[in-house]
Each structure stands twice: as C-alpha cells, then as structure tokens.
Amino acid sequence: MNLSIKHLYGLEGVPKEDIQAILSTAFSFREVLERPVKKVPTLQGVTVVNLFFEPSTRTRISFELAEKRLSADTVNFSASSSSLSKGESLKDTIQNIFAMKIDVVVMRHPVPGSVKLLSQFVDAVVINAGDGTHEHPTQALLDMMSLQEKVGDMEGMNVAIVGDIRHSRVALSNIHGLKTMGANVMVCGPPTFIPVGIESLGVKVTYQLEEALEFADAINVLRIQRERQGTGLIPSLREYRNLYGITRERLDRLSKPITVLHPGPMNRGVEIDSDIADGEHAIILHQVLNGVASRMAVLFLLAGAK
C-alpha cells in the first residue's frame, strides 16, 4: 500500500484514499498491540529521530512506542526553542543530526511551518508531531480512528470541536481530516477563541455550547491552557466552565447519544468534568491506544515506502 504523500506535514490537502489507507493500516496494528508480544519487525534497520523543540510527554512517548513496536532504531532530541535563539540555527541543528544518516524525523516545533521548512534541508521522511498552532496531523488521525471505531462511518457524521480553536493545532488538523472524510464540522467557543475566516474551511461556527451539543454525534473537547486567563481572551476559567464546560448536567439534557473525545492533557473541572472524562461517553483512553496504532501506520506507510 502506497500513499500519495511522501511526508506528513498536515492533513490539509491529504486525499481521502491516503487517510483511509492510514486508518485501515492503523486498525491492523491495533491488533498487534493486543497481542502478548507487541512487536513486529517491519521497520528493522530504519532510524527515526524524534526531534522535539517543545516539551511533550504524550506525543513523544506515543511516537517512541510506535517506533519501538515496529522495531525501528530511535533517537530522541529535545531542546527548547530558546536554546536555538541563542545562536545555533534550526538549520544547523537539523543538518547536524541528519549528517548521522537518519531515515525518518518526527518533529515538534512551536512555530507554524517549521516542520515544512525542515524538509528543505534534509533527505528524510518528515512527520509533523505538531508545529505551533498550525497542524498536528497524527492527533487528528487518532481522533478519526477512534470516531470510526466507536461511532462508525465518518461520512455524514456531525462532529463539534469545542474550545480554543484559534490556538489549536488539533482543531485545524481535525477540520481538514474530518471534512475530507465527509463529516460535518462545527466549531464552538467564545468569539475570542474563534479565528477569523474559519468558515472558509467549510465549518459551522457557534458561540453557544448547547447548539454544538444538539448538533453533534461526537464532540472533541480541547484543553484550555491556564495561561490564556489574564490575556484578555477570556475573563476567567470559572466563567469558561460555566459557559463551555462539558458537565454531566449538560449531557443528561440531551435526548441522543454523544461521544466525547479529548486530546489531553485535561484540565478537569475546566473544559471537562471528571465524571464525564471517566464516564460512559468518553473514549479518551481509546484515543491514547489508537494514537500508538495510527502513528505506527503513518511510520510504516511513509518509511516503508522509502
């Protein structure tokens, strides 16, 4: 199985066939993860570097695990972007690492576009593990895999993304992926969290959580970063919870099933209450497991083809 894409910069413009191929491959790897010996020799001899210019625990562990399950050799590099500003350019850092013969790079960087820029300097498969507020394609892939598993075919599915859309790479990747797969997407949050012109991506916009909940077969609840308070974007986390928090009371009012996703890490009691996060609506831990499987699929399909 070959993908039309050579790198995974984002889901914008990635054709439906590629997404389908990644998801179906991911489901096969899910089975591997259920076995007593959770390892296949698929990427033996392939060297992967996880290049993280921004702190990450979950995504990095998920990628590292996916690489190890595929028997790839892995190297980790972590640096704060501030150390780069001290003198060593991004280009130098990257060229130094690639002088060591790397096949695949998984990269996270706080600045949009940096992952794409990187690919100009190196001859390796590049996978975006989150570039600032631009895209986080593997997160969207694992979200879609979880939706397909728990809710069904995405064609015609109604998905609402709730929270800080403006500062979210998860939202943008989900919008691109879900639209490609035929889902209807609504974004919901306070107006200060909705970026200008988001409608141009073919999504509906609402500032009322009730409207989003009425619309949705599934909601993807984004983390509210605590540092947003005090910037003028929202008056307080307290008011945010009152207006947009996913609570038992709100979900109980619905006369239909609804599935709750969260990319993590959660601020329990802010955007989502604990009894929802741990309750019957949530598929959050499935997302985590599917994260490993879908990253295995991406690595296999891109690096295997090299």
Partner 1 sequence: MQQQKVSDKILFQNATIVDPHQGKSYTADILIDDGKIRKVQKEIPKSGIKRVVDLKGKSVAPGFIDLHVHFREPGFEDEETIATGARAALAGGFTQVCCMPNTVPPIATQDSVRLIYKKAEDLLVRVYPIAAITKGREGKELTEMGELAEAGAVAFSDDGTPLQNALLMRYALEYSRVTGKPVINHAEDIDLRADGLMNEGIVSTQLGLTANPAAAEQLMVYRDVMLAKLTGARIHIPHVSTAAAVAIIRQAKADGVRVTAEATPHHFTLTDEYMRSFSAQGKVAPPLRTEEDRQAIIAGLKDGTIDAIATDHAPHTYETKETSLDLASSGLIGLESAFGLAMTQLVKAGHLSLLDLVTKLTTRPAAVLDLPLPPIKAGEAANLTIFDPEEWWVFSRKDIYSKSHNTPFLGAEFTGRIKSVFTQSTYIEI
Decide whether 130 or 245 has the Cβ nearer to partner 1.
Answer: 130
- Residue from 197, 255, 256, 265 in contact with partner 1 (CB under 8 A): 197
- Residue from 51, 107, 124, 172 in contact with partner 1 (CB under 8 A): 172
Q: Copy the structure tokens of residue 280.
A: 């019957």
- Residue from 24, 28, 80, 89 in contact with partner 1 (CB under 8 A): 89
- Residue from 44, 83, 85, 236 in contact with partner 1 (CB under 8 A): 85
- Residue from 67, 103, 135, 217 in contact with partner 1 (CB under 8 A): 135
Decide whether 198 or 234 has the Cβ nearer to partner 1.
Answer: 198
Residues from 62 through 81 that contact partner 1 (CB under 8 A): 81
CA dihedral 114, 118, 124, 130 (to 10 degrees): -10
Decide whether 116 or 268 has the Cβ nearer to partner 1.
Answer: 116
Shortest Å distance, C-beta 14 to partner 1: 14
Determine the Cα–Cα distance for residues 265 and 115; give it in Å rounded to an integer: 23
Determine the Cα–Cα distance for residues 117 and 175; give it in Å rounded to an integer: 23
Contacts of 201 by beta carbon, 8 Å cutoff, 6+ apart:
175, 176, 179
112: contact with partner 1 by CB under 8 A = yes
Interface region with partner 1, contact rule CB under 8 A, candidates 103-111, 138-146, 147-155, 177-185: 103-111
- Residues in contact with partner 1, counted by CB under 8 A, come to a total of 28
Hey, how many other C-beta atoms are within 10 angstroms of the C-beta on 184? 19
Q: Where are the alpha helices (DSSP H) in the chain?
A: 16-34, 58-69, 81-85, 90-98, 114-118, 137-150, 169-180, 209-215, 237-244, 248-252, 274-277, 284-303
91: contact with partner 1 by CB under 8 A = yes
Determine the Cα–Cα distance for residues 279 and 106; give it in Å rounded to an integer: 33
Determine the Cα–Cα distance for residues 224 and 208; give it in Å rounded to an integer: 17
- Contact 97/108 with Cβ under 8 angstroms? no
Determine the Cα–Cα distance for residues 130 and 107; give it in Å rounded to an integer: 7
- Residue from 48, 183, 198, 292 in contact with partner 1 (CB under 8 A): 198
116: contact with partner 1 by CB under 8 A = yes
**Contact footprint for partner 1 (CB under 8 A):** 12, 81, 84-85, 89-91, 109-114, 116-117, 131-135, 169, 172, 195-198, 200-201
